[in-house]
């Protein structure tokens, strides 16, 4: 058996030193016969480019794949925030007879809400009658004190 038949075959690699680029350091280009050229930048003493990573030439570069599985928790969070906000808004409107909630309620509004509760049975309910019902004349919101 000949020695050349058992020798492993490696791709042919050649290297060359490219001229200086605007970043300040020299560039080594390794050319393989079966792959795209990969460039390694020599660190520059002036700008501190020691942490640069090799870059693949744009001719053969493919876009980075998108990790779609990360969108599942994002979608779940978005749906849960939307659903909980909608249900909270619906519950508040249901408590207020289908009207939006009152946020700035002063004494006058409290008195009117109490009057509306006595007339209609709910705080936000309103009556369209011009005159109060007869039961409203005797039912008073003021507590009755006994006279001794």
The pLDDT, as a whole number, for residue 135 is 72
Long-range contacts of 42-51 (CB under 8 A, 24+ apart): 47/23, 49/23, 49/24, 49/25
pLDDT in tens, the chain (148 residues): 555 455 555 555 555 555 555 555 555 555 555 555 555 555 555 555 555 555 555 565 677 788 888 899 999 999 999 999 999 999 999 988 888 888 899 999 998 888 888 888 888 888 888 787 777 777 666 666 777 7
pLDDT number for residue 88: 95
Contact between 42 and 25 (Cβ < 8 Å)? yes
Distance from the Cα of residue 132 to its chain's centroid: 53
At residue 84, the pLDDT reads 98
> What is the spatial distance between Cα 36 and Cα 55, in angstroms, rounded to a whole number?
11
**Strand (E) positions, the chain?**
13-18, 27-32, 38-41, 55-56
What is the structure's pLDDT at 100?
A: 86
Q: Is 69 helix (H, G, I), strand (E, B) or coil?
A: helix
pTM here is 0.41
What pLDDT is stored for residue 87 in this prediction? 97
């Amino acid at each position: 058996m000949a020695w050349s038949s058992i020798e492993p075959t490696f791709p042919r690699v050649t290297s060359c030193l490219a001229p200086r680029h605007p970043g300040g350091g020299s560039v080594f280009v390794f050319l393989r016969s079966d792959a795209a050229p990969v460039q390694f930048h020599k660190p520059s003493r002036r700008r501190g480019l020691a942490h640069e990573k090799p870059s693949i030439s744009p001719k053969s570069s493919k876009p980075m794949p998108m990790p779609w599985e990360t969108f599942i928790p994002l979608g779940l969070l978005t749906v849960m925030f939307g659903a909980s906000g909608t249900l909270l808004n619906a519950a508040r409107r249901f408590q207020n007879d289908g009207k939006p909630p009152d946020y700035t309620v002063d004494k006058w509004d409290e008195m009117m809400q109490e009057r509306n509760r006595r007339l209609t049975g709910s705080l936000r309910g309103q009556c369209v009658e011009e005159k109060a019902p007869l039961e409203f004349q005797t039912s008073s919101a003021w507590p009755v004190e006994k006279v001794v």
